[in-house]
Amino acid sequence: MKIVCLDIESLGSVDLSLFQKYGEVVYYDNTEPEETIDRIGTAEIIVINKVRINRKIMEACPNLRLICIAATGTNTIDLEAAAEKGIQVKNVTGYSTQSVTQITFAVLLSLMCKIEYFDRFVRSGNYSKGRSFTHHGRVFWELAGKQFGIIGLGAIGKRVAEVAAAFGANPVYYSTSGKNFDTTYPRLELEALLRTSDVVSIHAPLNKNTENLIDYKRICLMKPTAYLLNMGRGNIINEADLARALDEERIAGAGLDVHSNEPIKADNPLLFIKNRERLIQTPHIAWISREARTLLVEKVAENIRNFVSA
């Protein structure tokens, strides 16, 4: 059995030797679109993270029988073509729940509590020059007693809700599919959630229901003291609209781990907002704790094993 891993650089320094139990393995750090067909060649199994596999590639690689996605999202694969050709597509779920939840609150608390500002105040020498034991240059509020709105109550959304509740917040949620009727937390329609929540945290996949879901009009429904987080997919929020809303101080701030293009384009309006303290952006790292990546590889290996032993 020949296995080709097309973009292992995205997985970082994690042990991939598990795959070698199931066949001859070829590793590539990155693969450009024009290289994909040649690199797959006669392989029966491929492991990808962000490499796109379309109908043309499947037709050019007739031996291909299993596509293992080292991620949860399947939007990089032409699923219809794969089904027609009898090619199995296996993703991985549940591996990054703790990691994404942790980064969600790291970003939120940094924004809310103005940590960068206070750290800068101390390092500037202004604290040592002052007469007071504290500093009131910025005001922050507590999560306790506040409404915490979650868009997308899957495994990650539920864990975020649990942690929010541990802080004393009151979780509510909006189902992007319209099919989630979790009874643990109140379910609101989107506009109601946006109007009433002090934090809005996105943990939804990108699909026809969520693309451009949060635009300028909907951001303006939020409280001016509220925070918007996106740990789902970049295109769920209209980035130009968010930049405009932040410059107009429509909301208190935003935290993003995902962008419409990754890496972020140099002309993205979010790189040029006036008040930098209102925005924290991280380079799609919420999923990359060492534990999450180790579990991800183990689950990919399990998908390969199940296929080989079937």
Q: What letter would DSSP give residue 264?
A: P
- Which of 24, 262, 276, 290 is the catalytic position? 262
Calpha distance 115→138 (Å, rounded) = 10
- Tabulate helix, strand, coil % of the chain (nearest 5): 40, 15, 45
Question: Nearest to residue 227, comparing CAs of 104, 117, 121, 145?
Answer: 104
Is 162 marked active-site? no
- Which of these is catalytic: 203, 278, 284, 293? 284
On whether the CB atoms of residues 287 and 99 are closer than 8 A, the answer is yes
Q: Is 302 a catalytic residue?
A: no
SS3 at position 105:
helix
Instruction: Give me the DSSP letters along 190-240.
Output: HHHHHHH-SEEEE----STTTTT-B-HHHHTTS-TT-EEEE-S-GGGB-HH
- Active-site option among 233, 250, 278, 293: 233
262 is annotated as an active-site residue: yes
Residues β-bridged to residue 21? none
Indicate left, alpha or beta for 25 from its phi (over 0: left) and psi (-120 to 50: alpha).
beta
Catalytic residue set: 233, 262, 284
